[in-house]
């Protein structure tokens, strides 16, 4: 089966994620999260990538990033996945026991407006949505907790956002997304479909050869308010 097209253009905003094979737990203890953050830091040192938001979950992770060179996201994600797999198997003695990740990573382009805030809220409230914490900022293995530490702890991971955070950002992250916002982000993650206003999505899909991510149709296109501040069910 041919691989679906993937956008990876210098200067674009992207949400990238990967899940463990069969959704197995790959972050089993605190040291596993610490080790992955070190890998992220090494990858950012090696590749021209800016990381804005992230969240590590027991069986997957989310990144919101910008490649500064064409095709750099694929190189970065390939290095992260390969390095983590090698070190994980060495630590747990599981070499030869199958793939750590279920498939190559997924990603989709994000319009640099209110949609960027929607995706960052989606990523930074992932542990809260899953019931792992009472407040989004309590989850240590993500960008919201890290952003609140002054200065940012080592290893340094976060770049300055391309858009200024909206006022009351912590409360916005703790506020649920709307059903439409949640469905739109999940659809984009599943299909690699650009997330943005209708005109932007159609233009970017044509330019980056992503028309196939727009099919099949049948779902209502979603428009977000400029501040991205709507409630999730």
What digits encode the pLDDT tens for the residues 42-68? 999 999 999 999 999 999 999 999 999
> Taking 80 as the threshold, does the pLDDT of residue 228 lie above it?
no
What pLDDT sits at residue 23? 85
Q: Is residue 221 part of a domain?
A: no
In our burial notation (b when 16+ CB lie closer than 10 A, e otherwise), range 28-45 reads eeeebbebbbebbeebbe
Q: Is residue 232 part of a domain?
A: no
Band (215; pLDDT cuts 50, 70, 90):
confident
In the chain, pLDDT over 70 holds for what percent of residues? 90
> Taking 90 as the threshold, does the pLDDT of residue 91 lie above it?
yes
Q: Where residue 165 sits, what CATH number does that domain have?
A: 3.30.70.1290
Tokens linked to 224: 């977000």
What pLDDT sits at residue 233? 38
What pLDDT sits at residue 1? 43
What pLDDT sits at residue 173? 98
SS3 (DSSP) at 156: coil
Q: Is residue 6 part of a domain?
A: no
Whole-angstrom distance, CA of residue 65 vs CA of residue 78: 15
Tokens linked to 114: 């209110």
Q: Is residue 233 part of a domain?
A: no
Q: Is residue 91 part of a domain?
A: yes
Q: Is residue 122 part of a domain?
A: yes
Please state the pTM of the whole predicted model.
0.90
What pLDDT sits at residue 147? 98
Q: Is residue 186 part of a domain?
A: yes
Q: Is residue 231 part of a domain?
A: no
What pLDDT sits at residue 95? 80
Query: Which has more pLDDT, 4 or 82?
Result: 82
Query: Which has more pLDDT, 73 or 233?
Result: 73
Domain that holds residue 198: 13-214
Residue 114's contacts (CB-CB under 8 Å, 6 or more residues apart) are 224, 225, 226, 227, 228
What pLDDT sits at residue 104? 86
What's the total number of domains in the chain? 1
> Taking 70 as the threshold, does the pLDDT of residue 224 lie above it?
no
In the chain, pLDDT over 90 holds for what percent of residues? 84
């Amino acid at each position: 089966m041919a691989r679906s097209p993937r956008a990876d253009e210098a200067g674009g905003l992207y949400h990238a994620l990967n899940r463990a094979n069969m959704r197995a737990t790959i972050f089993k203890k605190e040291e596993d999260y610490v080790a992955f953050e070190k890998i992220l830091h090494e990858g950012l040192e090696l590749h021209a990538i800016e990381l804005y938001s992230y969240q590590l979950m027991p069986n997957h992770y989310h990144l919101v990033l910008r490649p500064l060179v064409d095709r750099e996201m694929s190189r970065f994600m390939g290095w992260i996945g390969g390095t983590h797999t090698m070190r994980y198997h060495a630590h747990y003695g599981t070499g030869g026991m199958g793939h750590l990740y279920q498939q190559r990573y997924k990603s989709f382009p994000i319009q640099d407006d209110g949609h960027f805030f929607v995706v960052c809220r989606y990523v930074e409230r992932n542990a809260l949505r899953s019931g792992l914490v009472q407040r989004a900022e309590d989850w240590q293995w993500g960008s919201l907790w890290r952003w609140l530490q002054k200065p940012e702890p080592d290893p340094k991971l976060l770049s300055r956002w391309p858009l200024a955070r909206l006022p009351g950002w912590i409360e916005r992250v703790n506020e649920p997304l709307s059903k439409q916002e949640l469905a739109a982000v999940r659809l984009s993650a599943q299909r690699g479909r650009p997330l943005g206003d209708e005109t932007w999505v159609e233009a970017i899909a044509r330019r980056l050869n992503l028309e196939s991510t727009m099919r099949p149709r049948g779902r209502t296109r979603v428009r977000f308010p400029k501040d991205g501040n709507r409630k999730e069910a």
